[in-house]
C-alpha cells in the first residue's frame, strides 16, 4: 500500500482498496495515540 503513494500518476481506487487504506490508517493512528500516552505518562 505504501508504494501506491509514490506511483507517478493516478490509479483507480476500488472500495476494497479504500477500505484497506482506511483500516491501515486507523491502526497507525491508534499506535500513535498509545505511544503519545506513554510518553506523556513517563516523560
The more confident residue out of 18 and 4 is 18
The pTM assigned to this predicted structure is 0.64
The domain spans of the chain are: 2-42
Given a contact cutoff of 8 angstroms between Cβ atoms, the answer to whether 21 and 1 are in contact is yes
Tell me what percent of the residues of the chain surpass a pLDDT of 70.
Answer: 91
- The helix, strand and coil proportions of the chain, stated in percent and rounded to the nearest 5, come to 75, 0, 25
Distance between CA atoms of 18 and 21, rounded to whole angstroms?
Answer: 5
Mean pLDDT of the 7-16 span: 80
pLDDT at position 1 is: 66
Mean pLDDT of the 2-21 span: 80
DSSP 5: G
- The residue whose grid cell reads 490508517 is 25
Distance between CA atoms of 18 and 38, rounded to whole angstroms?
Answer: 30
Amino acid at each position: 500500500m505504501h508504494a501506491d503513494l509514490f506511483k507517478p500518476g493516478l490509479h483507480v481506487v476500488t472500495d476494497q482498496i479504500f477500505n484497506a487504506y482506511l483500516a491501515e490508517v486507523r491502526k497507525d493512528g491508534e499506535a500513535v495515540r498509545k505511544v503519545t500516552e506513554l510518553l506523556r505518562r513517563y516523560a
